Structures are given as structure tokens and as C-alpha cells.
Amino acid sequence: MQRGYIKRVLAHCFDPDNRWLSLPCAAAALMVLLVLFKSHEGIAYNYSNECRIYKLGYTIDEARAMASVLNDQQVDSLVARQEHDTIATAVINARYFIPANFDRYLAYHKKDTAERPVGDIISLVNIGADGYDSPSPCDTSKGYLMLVNGRHYLDENYTPDSLAMFSKSYCYEEQRALPVVVDAFMAMQQACKEQTAAQLMVNSAHRSFQQQISMHKRSAKGYAAHAGYSEHQTGLAIDVTSREHPMRWPFDKSEECAWMHAHCHEYGFILRYPKRQSLIFGFAYEPWHLRYVGKEVARRIHDEDITFDEYYAYYIKPHAQAQGR
């Protein structure tokens, strides 16, 4: 009911020239109008998303919170299932919740036999590890924040614009990477040497598409990506050991490796495949594999204790940007 209509009725009731309506009649008319107005509001609320969610068994506060972040289609899907999902409210309150992924969170939870905590479900779905997303081309316009993994690939003809050589004193054989990566490594290497007396070495850096084919053929399963799916092709990734511990797994137990893990973000690097990622996403832990993302992003990934995949999904992808993140 339009409020303008109510105002016109009241004006008519209290019009001194209107001889047909007395003051008591006007008061009665006002009461009727108020009842009709409230009735209209009640009917409208019964069809609101908040009420529809509430009728599924959620509390009024839970229903209100969910209605504030879900669109009509998502609410329709939730209502159609006619069930009270135990993680729905936990999902929308999770730190890295992306509204567009709501249905996928619930679907993954329903089929998850490992009974993962909500935070892990959020991470798996956000990065596309729930099997929903098909492999897609890497968005190289993101520069040193481009994402290359098992679901984002580089064209076989992709080559970095420019590559710089590492000093022969700090690599086992000729290695190249983007100039910013070489400079950052040298600064990190110097700091590590001053604090641990060990000398970090570059075991592997840029690899072309063809070189990655050869690497994949001769590497143990899980430790070398298929050609096109390796960060090494970007010129942003380096595999690091040390002169004192040239073999990869002994290096993992060394003082200099622990120092590198603790301080690499200060130079713009992240540990690309940490143990947490191995446990959640099923990717092999690689204590030697660093990826350059710049100091600001590296610091944030370190402080929030997330992987680059999670950072990219929440802060970089177009739908995240559209939501003001």
C-alpha cells in the first residue's frame, strides 16, 4: 500500500469542509489503514529471503546474516534442498568466504569423506580444487602475480620479456630468471650468509616449455609439473639449496633452509609449496621452491599464513576485485 494514498485519506478525513466524516470516523479510518499497512508488510516479509531461510530451521540472526550475502538464486537453491546445512552459517562467517562460491562450499562439504574443517573447505573450493573449474589459460597480464598451477597453464610459446643471468658463484650451472628475481635472490643470499655463514645456491630457475617436458620425464612423480603448468617457465621461480647442503632433502634440515623459510618474504619470495598445502591440496611439499611475488604480497601471504593460490583467489581474481577486496 502506498504511503501517499494513506496521506490523502487522512487529509480527507481531517478536512474541515468534509461534513461526512467526524473525528471518531477519521480515527477509525486511521486504525484500519495502519492495520492494512502492517498486514502488507507482514505478507512481504513472508516472501523475503530472510524469512525463507529462517523457515529452514536457522535462527533469525543466522537467516538475516545469510540473506545479506546470498543472492536470490542461491537462496532459491538452498530452499529447494529443504535441509538445514550444518556448515552454512560457518561458511559465510569464514575469513576467505567468497559469496559466489556458496553452493560449491556446501556441495563439497556433502561429499567430503575426510571431514575437513570449514577453513580447508573454503580454501579448496576457492582455488578450484573441488573439480568445478576446468584448466584455463594463465592471465599473464598480472605480471609477477600471474598464477600458474595445475589449473592455469602457459602457452608453449610463452617466454619472459627479459632474463638475467645469476652469478656463476651462486648457481651450479648457468641459470636465468627475471632481473627482479636475480636482484632479490642476491640480497637474500647475502643476508643469509651474514647470519648463518652458509651460501645459498640456485639449483634451477627459468625453464622453457621444451625443457619442462624433459624435466617432467626424468623427475619423480609429484615433483615436476607438466610442460605449461610449471612456474619455472615464467622466470619467477627458483629452486634453492646451499653450497653446504647441495642435495634437496638434506638442505631441508639445514639451518640456512630454516632461515630462508623465515625470511624469504622480506625479499619478495614465498615458499610456493609449503607443508600446509601438501596436507590440504595434495601437492608435494617442496622446501627448496621459491616464487617471487614482490615484497608487499609476500609479506601478506606470510602474515596471513596462506598459499599463493588462496591469495590469488581471494584478492586478485576478477570477481574478488568486483566485490571490493
How far apart are alpha carbons 167 and 178 in whole angstroms? 13
Are 184 and 146 in the same domain?
yes
User: For position 324, what pLDDT does the model report?
Assistant: 47
| In contact, 215 and 229? CB cutoff 8 Å | no
Handedness of CA 311, 313, 315, 318 (dihedral sign): positive
Are 279 and 206 in the same domain?
yes
Q: Which residue's entry shows cell 560449491?
A: 104
Are 208 and 155 in the same domain?
yes
Are 241 and 314 in the same domain?
yes
| In contact, 295 and 267? CB cutoff 8 Å | yes
Residue 160 backbone dihedrals phi, psi, to 5 degrees: -55, 150
User: How do strand 200-204 and strand 237-242 relate by DSSP bridges?
Assistant: antiparallel
User: For position 282, what pLDDT does the model report?
Assistant: 76
Are 100 and 230 in the same domain?
no
Are 78 and 155 in the same domain?
no
How far apart are alpha carbons 52 and 266 in whole angstroms? 50
User: For position 214, what pLDDT does the model report?
Assistant: 78
Are 98 and 121 in the same domain?
yes
Are 115 and 217 in the same domain?
no
- For residue 52, being part of any structural domain is answered with no
- For residue 69, being part of any structural domain is answered with yes
User: For position 1, what pLDDT does the model report?
Assistant: 46
User: For position 220, what pLDDT does the model report?
Assistant: 54
Q: pLDDT tens, position by position, for the chain (325 residues)?
A: 455 555 555 555 555 555 555 556 666 666 655 654 555 455 677 889 999 999 999 999 999 999 999 999 999 988 888 878 878 999 999 999 999 999 999 999 999 888 899 999 999 999 999 988 889 999 999 999 999 998 999 999 999 989 999 999 999 889 999 999 999 999 999 999 999 999 999 999 999 988 888 776 776 555 667 888 899 999 999 999 999 999 999 999 999 999 999 999 999 999 999 998 887 887 789 999 999 999 999 999 999 999 999 999 999 986 554 554 5
- For residue 248, being part of any structural domain is answered with yes
How many domains does the chain contain in total?
A: 3
Domain end among 106, 126, 146: 126
Are 164 and 287 in the same domain?
yes
- For residue 267, being part of any structural domain is answered with yes
Q: Cell numbers of 74, please?
A: 542461491
Are 142 and 290 in the same domain?
yes
How far apart are alpha carbons 240 and 170 in whole angstroms? 10
| Structural domain harbouring 233 | 136-322
User: For position 8, what pLDDT does the model report?
Assistant: 59
How far apart are alpha carbons 176 and 187 in whole angstroms? 16
Are 118 and 182 in the same domain?
no
User: For position 4, what pLDDT does the model report?
Assistant: 59
Q: Cell numbers of 5, please?
A: 494514498
Domain end among 103, 126, 149: 126
- For residue 294, being part of any structural domain is answered with yes
Q: Which residue, among 298, 249, 246, has the nearest Cα to 269 in the 3D structure?
A: 298
- For residue 51, being part of any structural domain is answered with no
- For residue 53, being part of any structural domain is answered with no
| In contact, 148 and 309? CB cutoff 8 Å | no
How far apart are alpha carbons 189 and 132 in whole angstroms? 41
